[in-house]
Structure 1
Amino acid sequence: MNETIVIFLSVLATAGRVLGLVLLSIVTGWFLSYAAIKGKLFENIFVSVSEVFESVPVISFFPIVLILFITRVGGELGVELAADFLVFTAVVWNIWIAEYQAFKTIPREMVEVGENYRLGFFSILRQIYIPFSIPRIVANLFPSISDGFFYITVSEVFSIGLTTYVTFGIGSEMESLIVAGNLDGIILAFVFLAAIILVIIYFLRRFSNYAVAKYTVDTDSPVIRRGRFSFKNTTRRLSA
């Protein structure tokens, strides 16, 4: 296959991997955040896990990757799951924190409306909690995607002991180009990667403006605060 096409496809694979994992973080965060505000025990566990993902470097999860995915699953699927898990740990905490804080601070009147209409779990989540969390999610999309692209380079190619594991993407393709001393290919890879990132930023910015205009709620209503929580090393902090 033509080298230019391979490089372009590797960039698309990496971008798709990052965006897909960010989307997975958003969806899982909605359910986990809702469960956290409804139960104190789960809330403590959820906050603790989020803090671990925030403070522990991606490289520290290599032993988990080795045991769960490389050893137990094995093959190309195991390597792909390992790479996805490493990137997931880099992007998920930022999204989860945003959703959790949004759910914790939702105006009481909005919750009471859902209760008065006897909305079910999915209905109240879809009509009240999710829309209220969107502005906070949007505010954290840019740093999350930036973290994803930063850590993808060590996730698509990683070594454990004497064995190197590779999954298709710009990280592994760049390593091959560097080893081969292909300067033209390296430059082309950077150009494609920069172009894809610029496209993503453009559409994210447009979506951000739309989401903030549509879903931002201006209210002085009292908010629901269940307990106290804090995330160290972050400016996104609330207190009870």
Structure 2
Amino acid sequence: MAVFTSHIPTRRFGLTDIFVIAFVFALLVSVLHLGAGMVIPFSPENQLEISTDPADLPYYAGRSLLRMFIAYGASLLVTLVYGSIAAKNRTAEKVLIPLLDILQSVPVLGFLSVTITMFIGLFPASLLGVELASIFAIFTGQCWNMTFSFYHSLTTLPKDLKEVSAMLRFNWWQRFIRLEVPFAMIGLVWNSMMSFGGGWFFLAASEAITVLNESIRLPGVGSFMAAAVEDGNMPAVGYAIVTMIVMIVLVDQLFWRPIVVWSQKFKMERTEAVEVPTSFVYDLLQRAVFVVWMQKYCFRPIAKAVYAAFNLAARLTNRTASQLESVTLLSYLAAAIKWILLLTILYSVGQQAYQGGRMVASLGLDKLEEIIALGCYTLGRVMVSSLLGVLWTVPVGVWIGTNPRLSKFSQPVVQVAASFPANMIYPFVAVFYLQHSVNFELGSIPLMMLGTQWYILFNVIAGAMAIPNDLKEAAKVYKLSGWQKWRKLILPAIFPYLITGCITASGGAWNASIISELVIWKEDRLNATGLGSFISQVTATGDWPDIIAGIAVMCAFVVVINRLFWRRLYQLSETKYHLN
């Protein structure tokens, strides 16, 4: 699928092309240089020393960005595969969606506790093992929100589009690339932006790892910030914050803004909008002759080859499936293989659950009741933070999403606010709370909101931007205004996106509790009674029974709430509030 216009420009090779070529060359050299730093020799006994010298921040920023984009690439791949399987196979959906609820509720420290030893074991004498553990931790902060968005888009495909694809006899690959991905594109782009921002939130936790009584740090802005906080070095904290803002703005303007402009071509509407988003970088790339050459002689041939290969594979799989259906013995054999694979997976999961259950059982009933009570405290904070987030994000998100001119100026501001890791300002909040004796049992709620409310906002913006222009014109014709317009057009249109945002925000709030319920500044500790602070403390000490019990209880809370409350609203959005 082409990204830029394919016409051959009449203008000649010029300064624009020189600038683009120089930028691409500098980017490639930087990636090679930063990547080389990921495979240097390493051992837990001789760890890297993290500097708080501002001169090292550009290199640290590059290392952090490289981890973020690698994690995002992996998240996008998992999103497309996992979301497609869950949306198209009802049997798989019954397993994959509850599993997704569990995965998004497992705290980043929980993933790190399990994976850090494994990755170091895979690359025992190289820093690459720790790098992969850090990237995997960032991946867990990005992937689940994107997967929920893509899955929901596929489950709300309009029936007429499904019928057209059936009439055209699309195979699974043609339907995926020509219908499903384009239909889900706007929501996927905005949720990708949010997920990328969510990765920043856990950057410090993934680069400055303290698990199982062992502290490991990687060069990056997050570890720089952690070192500055430990030293109580406020100027260094300020330098880290400025660096983070610069990174977020550059990524927004050079990467996300052009993609948002490009994604508008996938908007479902019969009439063209008067105002559309714009991007200086997107316009610059369209004018560059070099980009058109690369598209014609490099990108397009590769895209055609990939499309042809997958199209051939789709035809072969369809033919094989039809042959299996016609042969009774082979169909039974295929079903038997599926059941064997399913039982094998269930056995492996059950075995791990049994081992974890034995460790949890050793804690005793009283300890388990205490952990459940801590979960109830965190549940209250999650509910309050989600409700407060909805109250302000819905009107603001609709305002931004329905005004392209406003979106042009507000998107960078929102992107910076959403992407900026809230835990970087926790030291300032801790100082304020300590000076004014703020009750941290309640004071932790705003900290939790800082990391979760943006999931709702970005989904609402995506829903508002996806409203077809012809429906807006119809609202004008019928003279809908005020509450009537909200009730008849806006709220039904954004409802599926709002539910997706609330689900991911709720899961993100549980995950964020491990940071927001325990804040440390020098020798002072602000500790709110809750499951998040409990998991943070037992993870640092390496108490495996408590770690497993805490994560299991958190997962149970999330799954039960999603099944009893959010899932019903999700089904309502699938059946009543989607375009048909």
TM-score (structure 2 length as normaliser):
0.36
User: Which runs of 5 or more residues in structure 1 are unaligned?
Assistant: 221-228
Q: Is residue 83–residue 147 contact of structure 2 (8 Å, CA) maintained in 1?
A: yes
Q: Is the partner of 1:106 in helix, strand or coil? A: coil
1:65 CA drift (Å): 1.4
1:206 CA drift (Å): 4.5
- 1:76–1:208 Cα change, 3 Å: same
Query: Is residue 238 from structure 1 mapped to residue 570 from structure 2 by the alignment?
Result: yes
Deviations 1:140-174 (A, max 9, x none): 13321221101011001112233212223212233
Aligned pair partner of 2:260 in 198, 205, 208: 208
Counterpart code for 1:198:
V
- 1:63–1:111 Cα change, 3 Å: same
For 1:57-76, list aligned pairs within 5 A: 57-74=107-124, 75-76=126-127
Q: Quote the residue 2:153 is aligned against.
A: 102
1-structure distance, mates of 2:128, 2:162: 42
Query: Is residue 28 from structure 1 mapped to residue 360 from structure 2 by the alignment?
Result: no
Q: Is the partner of 2:209 in helix, strand or coil? A: strand
Q: Which moved more, 1:110-119 or 1:9-18?
A: 110-119
Q: Is the partner of 1:119 in helix, strand or coil? A: coil
Query: Is residue 87 from structure 1 mapped to residue 138 from structure 2 by the alignment?
Result: yes
2-structure distance, mates of 1:120, 1:169: 45
Aligned pair partner of 1:48 in 98, 101, 106: 98
Aligned pair partner of 2:189 in 131, 134, 138: 138
Q: Is residue 166–residue 172 contact of structure 1 (8 Å, CA) maintained in 2?
A: yes
For 1:180-195, list aligned pairs within 5 A: 184-195=235-246
1:25 CA drift (Å): 1.5
Q: Is residue 153–residue 171 contact of structure 1 (8 Å, CA) maintained in 2?
A: yes
Aligned pair partner of 2:247 in 193, 196, 202: 196
Q: Which moved more, 1:13-22 or 1:150-159?
A: 13-22
2-structure distance, mates of 1:34, 1:59: 28
1-structure distance, mates of 2:162, 2:80: 16
2-structure distance, mates of 1:177, 1:139: 33
Q: Is the partner of 1:158 in helix, strand or coil? A: strand
Q: Quote the residue 2:446 is aligned against.
A: none
1-structure distance, mates of 2:54, 2:87: 49
2-structure distance, mates of 1:149, 1:123: 35
Q: Quote the residue 2:217 is aligned against.
A: 166
Q: Is residue 13–residue 169 contact of structure 1 (8 Å, CA) maintained in 2?
A: yes
2-structure distance, mates of 1:186, 1:67: 30
Aligned pair partner of 1:148 in 188, 196, 199: 199
Q: Quote the residue 1:223 is aligned against.
A: none
Counterpart code for 1:57:
P
Q: Quote the residue 1:8 is aligned against.
A: 58
Q: Is residue 116–residue 130 contact of structure 2 (8 Å, CA) maintained in 1?
A: no
Q: Is the partner of 2:127 in helix, strand or coil? A: helix
- 1:41–1:64 Cα change, 3 Å: farther
Deviations 1:170-200 (A, max 9, x none): 1223344556676555433322221111122
2-structure distance, mates of 1:179, 1:26: 35
Q: Quote the residue 2:172 is aligned against.
A: 121
2-structure distance, mates of 1:155, 1:177: 16
- CA-based RMSD of the aligned residues comes to 3.0
Q: Is the partner of 2:259 in helix, strand or coil? A: helix
1-structure distance, mates of 2:90, 2:150: 17
Q: Quote the residue 2:525 is aligned against.
A: none
Counterpart code for 2:94:
N
Counterpart code for 2:144:
W
2-structure distance, mates of 1:65, 1:129: 34
- 1:109–1:7 Cα change, 3 Å: same
User: Which runs of 5 or more residues in structure 2 are unaligned?
Assistant: 1-52, 270-467, 471-498, 508-565, 576-580
- 1:7–1:142 Cα change, 3 Å: same
2-structure distance, mates of 1:132, 1:53: 26
* Greater C-alpha radius of gyration: 2
- 1:111–1:5 Cα change, 3 Å: farther
Counterpart code for 2:240:
A
1:133 CA drift (Å): 0.9
1:66 CA drift (Å): 3.5
2-structure distance, mates of 1:149, 1:141: 13
Q: Is residue 21–residue 88 contact of structure 1 (8 Å, CA) maintained in 2?
A: yes
Q: Is the partner of 1:165 in helix, strand or coil? A: strand
Q: Quote the residue 1:225 is aligned against.
A: none
1:50 CA drift (Å): 1.8
Q: Is residue 53–residue 90 contact of structure 1 (8 Å, CA) maintained in 2?
A: no
- 1:121–1:6 Cα change, 3 Å: farther
Percent identical residues? 22
Q: Is residue 70–residue 135 contact of structure 2 (8 Å, CA) maintained in 1?
A: no
Query: Is residue 157 from structure 1 mapped to residue 489 from structure 2 by the alignment?
Result: no
Q: Is the partner of 1:168 in helix, strand or coil? A: coil
Counterpart code for 1:238:
Y
2-structure distance, mates of 1:184, 1:37: 49
